[in-house]
Amino acid sequence: MLQSPEPVDLVVLKSDGGVMELKNCIGGKIRPYTGTRNVKLLSSGQMRCIRDSLIISINGMEVFL
């Protein structure tokens, strides 16, 4: 779902234990050795680097690792 060019909504855990909601973003470069990926927020153009293991849900569907 994150590899498709369609925008998605993500819920991700932050390093301080909080929850971050990323709405209307698209997936970018994947770094398999570090377990991270870049996502681009379409509303602001901002790039974020998130860990794959900290993704809680994609488009409202819970993620099981």
Residue-by-residue pLDDT tens, the chain, 65 positions: 788 889 999 999 998 999 999 999 998 889 999 999 999 999 999 999 999 999 999 999 999 86
Return left, alpha or beta for 33; rule: phi > 0 is left, psi -120 to 50 is alpha, else beta: alpha
Closest CA to 13 of 30, 63, 26, 2: 63
What integer pLDDT is reported at residue 9 of this predicted model? Answer: 95
Model confidence, pTM: 0.84
What integer pLDDT is reported at residue 39 of this predicted model? Answer: 94
What integer pLDDT is reported at residue 64 of this predicted model? Answer: 82
Question: How many C-beta atoms surround the C-beta of residue 14 within 10 A?
Answer: 10
What integer pLDDT is reported at residue 5 of this predicted model? Answer: 87
